[in-house]
Amino acid sequence: MWCHGLNEPCPCGSGKKYKKCCRQ
């Protein structure tokens, strides 16, 4: 995954932040 900034908006389009959306 490309989770670099946990507080940056997630590029998956969910509008959530990385730590809530794309973090695995």
The per-residue pLDDT for range 1-24, each reduced to its tens digit, is 455 566 676 666 666 666 666 554
Task: Look at residue 8 in the predicted model and tell me its pLDDT.
Answer: 72
CB neighbourhood size of 19 (10 A):
13
Verdict on whether the full-model pTM lies above 0.85: no
Task: Look at residue 23 in the predicted model and tell me its pLDDT.
Answer: 53
Spatial neighbors of 24 by CB under 8 A, at least 6 apart, are 1, 3
CA angle 20, 21, 22 (to 5 degrees): 120
- In whole angstroms, give the CA distance from residue 22 to residue 18: 5
